[in-house]
Amino acid sequence: MKNTVMIVLVVMLLGAGAYLGASALASDRSETTANPNLPGATADPNQPERTAEVKGVVLSVDGDVIVVERYIQDPAEELTDEEKAAKKAARAELTQEERQTLKAAESAGLETERVSLTVPVGTPIVQMVLDGDAPVAQAATLAALRGGMEITVWTDGGTNNATAQYVKLASAK
């Protein structure tokens, strides 16, 4: 009987510890998500945590197929965490138009390739919009995609003739 009571107490303590640990991790993530200025933060809590396979500019949309001029190498991947934080802080001082102009200038010299992606019905699509000074993810539809828009796409693992699993449009002007 004592052994059973002891086992029950140990299981309850382990369960309580797991619950409190998970709660602490969840609150840390929500704080990071809520404050996009923190390192590793995103204004989109539903964004996949892995690196997107396709990042580039939309060339055309035909039904559920989009053609993207994909950046072969994202220059941000070459920066250290400190350099990324400094770059983000500097851009925070710019207006939305200045940020977009700077981004276009940086993207102009990048090597690209043309890829085609299928975006099935029901694929989450979000567009980043400004709520005051903070970017916020807002639900969008395939109809919101236009030529010339910056886009980031998480796929089923491929870059060409792949199927989109999550689509994120750059900030609205």
**Helix H or strand E segment including 2:** helix 2-34
pLDDT by residue (tens digit) across 101-157?
777 777 667 788 999 999 999 999 999 887 777 778 889 999 888 888 999 999 999
User: Which of 105, 106, 151 is closest to 128 using CA atoms?
Assistant: 151
- Count how many Cα atoms sit within 13 Å of the Cα of residue 8 in the half-sphere of its side chain: 5
pLDDT by residue (tens digit) across 24-58?
444 443 333 333 333 344 568 888 999 899 999 99
Q: Tell me the chain's radius of gyration from C-alpha atoms.
A: 21
pLDDT at residue 161 is higher than 50: yes
Q: Is 46 helix (H, G, I), strand (E, B) or coil?
A: coil
Question: Beta 65-71 vs 112-118: how paired, if at all?
Answer: antiparallel
